[in-house]
Structure 1
């Protein structure tokens, strides 16, 4: 299994959560020093623990339609083997910041291609290891606990004039509610005004403000019905106390969300 230079892949994290001796020494060292991978590993361990502690009488078998959705989410064929997958990263071109930004004249955002994270990839490994009892399925366990899962993530890269970097993840709870979690390093704190978090379209023809980022980490509730395929770019801007609600055009970091 190839090693992602940015983060450890989901299959390795799943095996580690199950207590297996998985991955190379470099991958295990990366997990130990990476806040994002450690957070995902802890979340997987929590779900594994809940599944192992639950007895057969405490779980309700899901209807057949649930398994069909799991098969579709994992990209499995009818025989149960993974179907070929082709991940197409979102390309984002460089921009030149401007003092006045309008929805119709923004330029294309910059940033690195997203690291593909497949939050359902670990399900197959967990099922194979016997975490799921009988034919009950992982979907019922996740929905029953209400534990949030990471369904999208972005690597936030600095724009010209800034040295900051960070990450953004979308956490989806069992009830379908979603939260965008933004985490920046200290390089994003040098501004005389305040920082605002936005979701942009890839061509920067539309944008949605999610609120002010206080400190280096913030959680922002995503409106029900918001299409993250359309508004798929996370942006953190430096804003001034000038009473203008529009984007300043001075973006600190930016990056596209990837599933």
Structure 2
């Protein structure tokens, strides 16, 4: 789901199509994200238009600047609105690569960070609210996404996204629109090289959605294709060769 749409809905705007709203109701990840953003907006508005502005401690602004990737002092040291620098455009992916992933310093801000930027320019009242947003334990940044298309013999579809958490760790989030596996098998999530010359198993997908921690040293430039396979209870840890869906990660 588009982050800007979730941000607009959190702000109380009328946005999105009927199918978009239906997806949010059915998708646990989108529902949680919308609830989190709505909490932030509620906190921002709780002070009221007549509330006195409270200057936060200097370290609060340092944390906001660090979260937004601003130079030291860019966020300012008072509650006066300060224009934020425009984000640098991300590099275009080469056309001949199946699943390019941009470096981790070229990330597209998620809606949560957009609202954190609003806090930095004075849209959130009070230093306490600014500190809470800048230190959200669940703040994430999406660095790549994939559309998962069905392989021959399957009619499933889905999506995947690579998120970085506030502590720098990475998670692959997989959402699959397909019925449960048969009683004789289970579904397993993999990252493949584009030429299928190497693969890494991330674990079993139970249900339609799953979150999988990525090893710190795993190079997403090499293992850039998401694959979900149907596996049998045969004791063989290797890929069965029966892929349900597959798709390249794109920044």
Same fold (TM over 0.5): yes
* 2:9 matches 1:34: no
Q: Is the contact made by 2:55 and 2:127 (CA closer than 8 Å) also made in structure 1?
A: no
Aligned to 1:196: 188
RMSD of aligned alpha carbons: 4.0
Aligned to 1:61: 61
Aligned to 2:86: 81
* 2:140 matches 1:146: no
SS at structure 2 position matched to 1:43: helix
Structure 1 pair 50/223, CA: closer, same or farther in 2 (3 Å)? farther
Structure-2 separation of matches of 1:187 and 1:227: 31
Q: Higher RCO, 1 or 2 (CA under 8 Å, sep at least 6)?
A: 1
SS at structure 2 position matched to 1:60: helix
SS at structure 2 position matched to 1:66: helix
Structure-2 separation of matches of 1:228 and 1:137: 35
Structure-1 separation of matches of 2:149 and 2:184: 21
Aligned to 2:225: 233
Structure 1 pair 230/210, CA: closer, same or farther in 2 (3 Å)? same
What's the offset of the Cα at 1:69? 2.2
Structure-2 separation of matches of 1:67 and 1:249: 42
Structure 1 pair 177/48, CA: closer, same or farther in 2 (3 Å)? farther
What's the offset of the Cα at 1:84? 4.7
| Structure 2 unpaired stretches of 5+ | 48-53, 72-82, 100-106
TM-score, with normalisation over the residues of structure 1? 0.64
The C-alpha deviation readout for 1:127-149, integer Å capped at 9, x for no partner, is 358445699997x6555120142
Q: Is the contact made by 1:12 and 1:22 (CA closer than 8 Å) also made in structure 2?
A: no
The C-alpha deviation readout for 1:32-63, integer Å capped at 9, x for no partner, is 11135544433332444456669754872216
TM-score, with normalisation over the residues of structure 2? 0.66
The C-alpha deviation readout for 1:93-132, integer Å capped at 9, x for no partner, is 8xxxxxxxxxxxxxxx9xxxxxxx9443664566358445
Structure-1 separation of matches of 2:111 and 2:138: 17
Once the two structures are overlaid, the 10-residue window that deviates more, 35-44 or 156-165, is: 35-44
Aligned to 2:169: 177
SS at structure 2 position matched to 1:169: strand
| Structure 1 unpaired stretches of 5+ | 1-6, 72-77, 94-108, 110-116
Q: Is the contact made by 1:150 and 1:169 (CA closer than 8 Å) also made in structure 2?
A: no
Aligned length: 219
Q: Is the contact made by 1:156 and 1:167 (CA closer than 8 Å) also made in structure 2?
A: yes
Structure-2 separation of matches of 1:192 and 1:49: 48
